[in-house]
Amino acid sequence: MLTFGLALLAGSAIQADIQAEDFRATLGDPHLNVIPRTAEETARIAAVTALSDDFTAPARFEQMSAGAATVRVVGTADAFSQPSDNLTFEDELTFKVGNGLFRKLWVSAPSSTLASDGLGPLYNARSCQRCHIKDGRGHPPEAEDSNAISMFLRVSIPGTLDDLIPQIEGYIATSPDPNYGVQLQDFAVQGYRAEYRLDISYQEETVTFPDGQTASLRHPTYTAADLGYGPLHPDAMFSPRLAPQMIGLGLLEAIPTADILANADPDDANDDGISGRPNVVWSLVHDEPMLGRFGLKAIEPTVLEQSAGAFAGDIGISTPIFPAAAGECTPAQVDCRNAIHGDGDDRGTEVDAEGLELVAFYSRNLGVPARRDVDDPQVLRGKEVFYSTGCTACHTPSFVTHRLRDRPEQSFQLIWPYTDLLLHDMGEGLADHRPEGRATGREWRTPPLWGIGLTQQVSGHTYFLHDGRARSLLEAVLWHGGEAAPQRDAVIALPTEDRAALIAFLESL
């Protein structure tokens, strides 16, 4: 079994001799128990998900962002913490048990609470909820609650893993930092040293609109200070990560791979300037290549594997997928490897298979709140601006999920996530210069936009993008570059009222 660090770096190509042109023929959905679509259903889906050019009224069912799984909006910070509306009573109980594990505060071993020990020894958070606060976005250091920071640095160095991965088209080989692995942990249990302290500084840039209004963009510089285990490799590449919101993950997992790949255009064959590419990853659970869907660079294929990776890298908790009790401790961190861990009881690992599945079930079934103000004239105008400026080329409005035999809550739902789940070159301004799988140092997965207008209510801030540098939705748009530069420039050139309408539309999602 690969360690968490090697799997994270190597996940895109292990034994996967796949070329780009073969994606549509070879990638499937082994994580789903699918009922194949009929020809009639396929035609109906094509019609219902086609881009509309009527902006005089909302599209049919548009307010139901997650289909029958959509939840009503509550006016509290718990808006992202509701179970999908179509869960059965029994499944709601399972959801609540999973929520308990998601919120559990882990403690160091040995502990009298055997079911809760095994933290670290190195970690970024003591629970899943401490990163995904209220199941929403993480908190960068400058957010109001400085005790709830949920940001860290990924790290790797240029290199090869030829003993694990054959070199194949599109794969960018990297290796863990020899002292620190692939993720820097800023906390440690008593008696051990944390790996680092994250320092951030910003340089402001003013953007002036044709109407004279201005916005300020802040360019971050990240420093790994107070290193606890010797120097970083001189070629170390950093990538800052802020925890994303959790809603709708099971529905994203249920979108047919073929429908996502249908939007891929790696060579820009249609000459629209957009070159969405899939990240192809190796599934440790299914032992085959799969489409990457989750993570900021689409490095994980399923919610289950994403959850196991977070347990290992963020909390230092072992699972059947990543059974190393020391989490992400490297061979150079001898004391960390030799520490007392929490895997010596009947569970086998610190979280057993049942516990991991409960957390994955909870994560899959966090409900997406309904749209607000869908028929407001300003929102409808903003929708027209969003479509006409080409934002839908990456933020695909809608999909219909697979028919599923054993997940009725995600089965055959018309959903409106506003993402294509593909990688896009976002330009030098957003580049982290750290490749991950097939993703280059300038590429990021298109994030879903559903729920984005509730960020302030849920998270208590409006920090967006992969590292929270954008302090508003407008700043997030202005950071778009690379493939999205024409759309950004079109927004800059908009009349004041159209720019305000665009933001109103985004806030309605």
d(CA 157, CA 454): 37
Q: Which residue has the tokens 């971050």?
A: 220
pLDDT digits (tens, 9 = 90+) for 261-317: 999 999 888 888 999 999 988 899 998 889 999 999 999 999 999 999 999 999 999
* pLDDT for position 348: 84
pLDDT of the residue at 12: 39
**What backbone torsions phi and psi does residue 83 show, to the nearest 5 degrees?**
-70, 150
Chain mean position to CA 480: 18
Q: Which helix (H) or strand (E) holds 456?
A: helix 455-459
Residues with Cβ within 8 Å of residue 372, at least 6 apart in sequence: 73, 453, 508
Residue numbers of the chain with a pLDDT score lower than 50: 1, 11-21, 146, 163-168
Comparing CA positions, the residue from 287, 260, 297 lying closest to residue 172 is 297
pLDDT for residue 268 = 86
The 8-class DSSP code of residue 423 comes to E
Residue 141: the pLDDT is 80
Q: What is the model's pLDDT at position 281? A: 87
Beta bridge partners of 225: 197
What is the amino acid identity at position 461? H
Cβ contact 187:124 at 8 Å: yes
Question: Which of 420, 429, 435, 432 minimizes the C-alpha distance to 477?
Answer: 429
Give the predicted TM-score (pTM) of the model.
0.94
Q: Is the dihedral of CA 127, 130, 134, 135 positive or negative?
A: negative
Distance (Å, whole) CA 65 – CA 371: 6
> Are 448 and 418 within 8 A, CB to CB?
yes
